[in-house]
Amino acid sequence: MKKILFLFTFVFLFVFISYMPAFSAYKPPTSDIIVFVDVEGGIRKDISEASKVPLFCLYKDGRLLYSTIGEDNLTFLMETKLDDNGIDRVKSFFSSFEEWNDIYDDCPLKDMPIVNITANIDGNVRTFSIRGIDYAMSQKTIPAKLTAFYRYVAFYANDEAKEYESDEIYLYVKSASTPDPNTIYRTIGWRVKINLDSIIEDSGLSSVSSVKLTGKDAKKAIKCLKYFTPYMTGDLPVFVKQNGKYFSLAFRPLMPHELK
């Protein structure tokens, strides 16, 4: 799999999303982690933004989850384990983080995505937000060690890593109009015995609804969607048709700290 490098190659449009509590932008589990990195804004549409996963999440026990780009330009979440030396290396990037600013917003393009880096170093927790991190690194407007850490994250790969799997997922559902026959799109089969319309009806005013699936339902949903919508819908619209209505779907696995 190619390492995730989309921040180095694309110009993003910021999208403001209104979330239901079940999938509001997840908060870093500061009591469990050493470092947590994710991105907000960019070209993701609402359902893709809801189903995003972190770029990098290192737990205190050395468990590491990180994002890669796989087949068809889809994002996959990988899992590996760092030993004490690996953990110490990550911590070393933050040896002087008390001196850093919380926000770096010097990028002249205000619609660029924001990278959020939360570090928990010996109980001292800080979050750093950088808009347009490519620009910030090229102009040297962020600390050198912060640049070095982000490059470490962006190019991280481990031959022993395996795809992260969870028995529980969040399924995201959005009503869709009947596709325009003159556009390119894909309709896939939906074999899970769940009324998608009822999920939307239960969601109030949110444009994207969610439900947590476990067991057989989760496995069936993953089988249907895995190679079409892992964590973001991509460029080709994907629809499910149920009871004469069209829906956009996406999913993400629950993170280890969410399974407690």
CATH value at residue 59 = 3.30.1560
Q: What is the spatial distance between Cα 118 and Cα 59, in angstroms, rounded to a whole number?
A: 12
Q: What is the spatial distance between Cα 255 and Cα 101, in angstroms, rounded to a whole number?
A: 29
Indicate the pairing of strand 103-104 with strand 124-131: parallel
Domain final residue pick, 102, 128, 162: 162
Residues 155, 57 within the same domain: yes
Q: What is the spatial distance between Cα 83 and Cα 131, in angstroms, rounded to a whole number?
A: 32
Task: Tell me the CA distances in angstroms from 35 to 118, 165, 210, 213, 226, one per residue in order.
Answer: 6, 21, 27, 28, 27
Which three-class secondary structure state does DSSP give residue 52? Answer: coil
Domain final residue pick, 111, 135, 162: 162
Residues 93, 138 within the same domain: yes
Which three-class secondary structure state does DSSP give residue 101? Answer: coil
Domain final residue pick, 132, 162, 192: 162
What string of pLDDT tens digits covers the 260 residues of the chain?
444 433 333 322 222 222 222 333 466 777 899 999 998 876 556 777 788 889 999 999 999 999 998 777 788 899 999 999 999 999 999 999 999 999 999 998 888 889 999 999 999 999 999 999 999 999 999 999 999 999 999 999 999 999 999 999 999 888 888 877 777 677 888 889 899 988 886 554 458 888 999 999 999 999 988 888 777 545 556 788 898 888 888 899 999 988 87
Number of domains the chain contains? 2
Residues 169, 255 within the same domain: yes
Domain that includes residue 152, residue range: 2-162
pTM here?
Answer: 0.82
Q: What is the spatial distance between Cα 33 and Cα 92, in angstroms, rounded to a whole number?
A: 15
